[in-house]
Structure 1
Amino acid sequence: MARKKLREYSSKQLLKTHMLNLCKEKLNLNAVQITPTSPSLKDIAQQTTAQWLNTTKLVVKPDMLFGKRGKNNLVLLNATVAEADAFIKERMNKEVDIGGKKGAVTHFIVEPFVPHTVEYYMSIVANRDVNTISFSSVGGIEIEECWDKVITLDIPYGEKIDLVNLHPLVPAETAARESIISFIKNVYKVFEDLSFHFIEMNPFTLDENGRPFPLDMRGEVDECASFKCGSKWTVDGEPLQFPQPFGRNLFPEETYVNDLDEKTGASLKLTVLNPTGRIWAMVAGGGASVIYADTVADLGYGHELGNYGEYSGDPNEEDTYKYASTMLGLATRNPDGRPRALIVGGGIANFTDVAATFKGIIRAFKDYHKEIVKANIHIFVRRGGPNYQSGLENMRDVGRELEIPIKVYGPEINMTNIVSMAIHHINTAQPVSVSS
């Protein structure tokens, strides 16, 4: 899966919207997100739709994909609008150190303060064959120390949650047990409908009416499912934004590919994992990209994988050329003589013209052929689909023409066989001298 983490604000807004749409359950989840470019909290509190800010005490916390905010003195409780506004202004764009990672705090979430006496834990995780629901009657910041109290239940894929008995998950002595069970079922329905990979509420509590209320929430979706439910991934009327992990800024190449992706009907994705990695992947198709990356990791070489990404949706020659040039610029950077590998992989295309997209890649090979040689890169190609024979032959021809090492295969070999070849190459090929 291409797992994408969501901000807490986005997770809660998705839950609120779709629990109402799917389950007719209305969650009283009022929240405001504050960023460096948004109006101040005081200004937002004057808007008609945000009058609740003036009628209740508030909670303020960073919304930056890191946990243990309370333990790091980054949470304000039981605050007025003025106090919350001052808290945010004092910390906005200030650098903090969380577990050795440093970054500026740029997003805050502001919510009503909910007095409570009980804290529960729940999560749903997508595993290979089942979705696993976990619940504990002891939640909050000490959940790790109380993990022995967590009860789990596996739900096989395709099984209707309404037909599953969740009573073993929630102990009989739990307050509002039936309400909690109903809540978990409805959260599960949203989990499935929106292709979440992970939902965690630590903690959730009971509101003044005895109904479950998530105080803290994390979520991840499977980006590969955007084709079927991407239209539902909207927050405040805008497409869902996937933030970068805390402390990590985009590489210029990632920004460039993002810009290319926005201007084309095709799909061009790039995430740099390890700039000094020795295995790089230029993969056609979102599903194939996951398979290739997982195979590299399964064979014990995830630490050498330079990137994760894909080109798909039948990109034209020019877009493919720009994408391939970006990849080669990364893969050939700072040569040290040690062997490297570039995987040009993919499954068997349904409608993408393999020969046409390979033209763009071949143009990039010609532009970077000196860098390819200097970086000691061996190229492994495997592809099938429309016009794949001529595309593969063109790859062989450019290898001979430029005298760069390219091994070319079609659908006669398993899709991931070239991963083993790439790993064998970086382990056994001789280093080369690098001239200044």
Structure 2
Amino acid sequence: MAQRGIREYDAKRMLAAYLPEFSGGKFKLPEERALVTPARSIDEAASEHPWIKEKKLVVKPDQLFGKRGKHGLILLNADFDEAKRWIEERMNSVADITGVKGRLTHFLVEPYIEHDEEYYIAIKDDREEDHIYFSTAGGVDIEENWDKVITIDVPIDRDMDDMDIRAELSKQIPEDKLETMEAFVKALYRFYKELYYAMLELNPFTIVNGNEVIPLDTVAKLDDTAAFWMAKKWGDIEFPAPFGRDLTPEEKYIKELDEKSGASMKLTILNPKGRIWTMVAGGGASVIYTDTIVDLGYGNELANYGEYSGNPTTDETYEYAKTILDLMTREKDPRGKILIIGGGIANFTDVAKTFQGIIKALKEYKQKLQEHNVKIYVRRGGPNYQEGLRLMKELGKEIGIPIEVYGPEMHMTRIVKLALEGGEQ
């Protein structure tokens, strides 16, 4: 599982769209929210959403960092002119969030809603069970009030609907609100599971008019290995870079390539001077390869994280491979470098076709690969994989680069150990 943070705007958009369904129509969320960016001013947002000029507003940055209230980055109960002035003063300015500096570029605008009660709920995954944390003491001081948080554990082999959570909730919720809160917690958990969330926190949230859920602040992460099946339900989802970390030109290029393609291509540079580089097919496989490299004690030498999947074209894999090879051959390491071209057993990606793009890039970088003493390890399975592996074996002889080639008989984690530590198969 690759947990990736999403904007509060997107988490609330999905909650508004699907919580009614998962609650059997018992709960709803406001549909009114807008995102203001350097490319979309609050005036443009207001022309699309007239309520922005009609209602009191809440405005805050939406860039994957918390404690916004404590950093003076939340505007409450403001009219349109106040909100516009506040955003314009801060747009593209640099903020220091507990030592991390970054530029403010995205602001969430919502209606201001009067309320009396503030609750806390978070759902987080673990190896054997999910944990639901709940408290009636929601707000910015929840960490200081953690003794007031109750925990409900949901084993992975249990259905939430078969569990009695009322006894735990009754420790904090009065009898007249217990049924409503129990229904909400169960509905939110269904939403979390069915849409492949890895973490979801509403802090605080409130419920008004009996059934209208108002998440005042939301933090969420998705399991991005589910992106293929969840494409329709997630909609036009963005996985922003962490606050304070701007995308490199190469990361931007792959992001743009990904956005134009029906396939998936992702790239994150972890350590540009790293000795170990990966070119992995499949989101799940990329996590396994990365975890194995870290488990073997080579995390500080891992240069990149990413994946290509969804049957990309030969040209797309060529561009993806060329970008990685260019990065890999900028700085030398006296020990040489390692490139792992891996993946699981593909369902529908034509291995030979994608390998042709990678082979084209490897041929172009033949001299630089030799100069940097690069050794390549290949492990792949799936449609037409025998032809793909044959092409890779021939390439090694042609360009004079050591390339060890393995099929699905070689375990994914074993190829990593072989590449990093050598030894027998």
Provide the TM-score with structure 1 as the length reference.
0.88
Q: Do the aligned partners of residues 305 and 168 (structure 1) sit closer, same or farther apart at CA in structure 2, a change above 3 Å counting?
A: farther
Q: CA deviation at 1:38?
A: 2.1
The whole-number CA distance in structure 1 between the counterparts of 2:46 and 2:328 is 50
Q: Do the aligned partners of residues 401 and 211 (structure 1) sit closer, same or farther apart at CA in structure 2, a change above 3 Å counting?
A: closer
- The one-letter code sitting in structure 1 at the alignment partner of 2:6 is L
2:392 to 387, 395, 420: 395
Q: Report if the CA contact (8 A) 1:337-1:374 is conserved.
A: no
3-state SS in 2 of match to 1:416 = helix
The whole-number CA distance in structure 1 between the counterparts of 2:36 and 2:316 is 36
Gapped runs of 5+ residues in structure 1? Answer: 426-436
Counterpart for residue 434 of structure 1: none
Q: Percent identity?
A: 50
Alpha-carbon deviations, 1:89-137, whole Å to 9, x = none? 1111111111222221111112233334433211111223322211122
Tell me which moved more, 107-116 or 66-75: 107-116
Structure 2 residue 137 is matched with structure 1 residue 129: no
Q: CA deviation at 1:203?
A: 1.3
Counterpart for residue 181 of structure 1: 182
Alpha-carbon deviations, 1:197-225, whole Å to 9, x = none? 11101112343658653211111112221
Q: CA deviation at 1:173?
A: 4.1
Counterpart for residue 112 of structure 2: 113
Tell me which moved more, 294-303 or 242-251: 294-303
Q: CA deviation at 1:65?
A: 0.9
Matches within 5 A, 1:31-430: 31-40=33-42, 44-45=45-46, 49-51=49-51, 53-55=53-55, 57-157=56-156, 159-175=158-174, 176-207=177-208, 212-234=213-235, 239-424=236-421
Q: Report if the CA contact (8 A) 2:224-2:283 is conserved.
A: no
The whole-number CA distance in structure 1 between the counterparts of 2:378 and 2:275 is 16
Alpha-carbon deviations, 1:2-45, whole Å to 9, x = none? 2221111111121011112332122235323222222435x655
3-state SS in 1 of match to 2:393 = helix
The whole-number CA distance in structure 2 between the counterparts of 1:306 and 1:269 is 14
Q: Do the aligned partners of residues 113 and 316 (structure 1) sit closer, same or farther apart at CA in structure 2, a change above 3 Å counting?
A: closer
Q: How many pairs were matched up?
A: 419
Q: Do the aligned partners of residues 305 and 169 (structure 1) sit closer, same or farther apart at CA in structure 2, a change above 3 Å counting?
A: farther
Alpha-carbon deviations, 1:145-199, whole Å to 9, x = none? 2223222222233533222212243243425333222211111121122111111
CA RMSD of aligned residues (A): 2.4
Q: Do the aligned partners of residues 308 and 21 (structure 1) sit closer, same or farther apart at CA in structure 2, a change above 3 Å counting?
A: same
Q: CA deviation at 1:52?
A: 6.5
Tell me which moved more, 118-127 or 167-176: 167-176
Q: Do the aligned partners of residues 145 and 173 (structure 1) sit closer, same or farther apart at CA in structure 2, a change above 3 Å counting?
A: closer
Q: Do the aligned partners of residues 51 and 263 (structure 1) sit closer, same or farther apart at CA in structure 2, a change above 3 Å counting?
A: closer
Q: Do the aligned partners of residues 122 and 324 (structure 1) sit closer, same or farther apart at CA in structure 2, a change above 3 Å counting?
A: same
Alpha-carbon deviations, 1:58-91, whole Å to 9, x = none? 2221111111111111112222222222111111
3-state SS in 1 of match to 2:307 = strand
Counterpart for residue 20 of structure 1: 20
Gapped runs of 5+ residues in structure 2? Answer: none
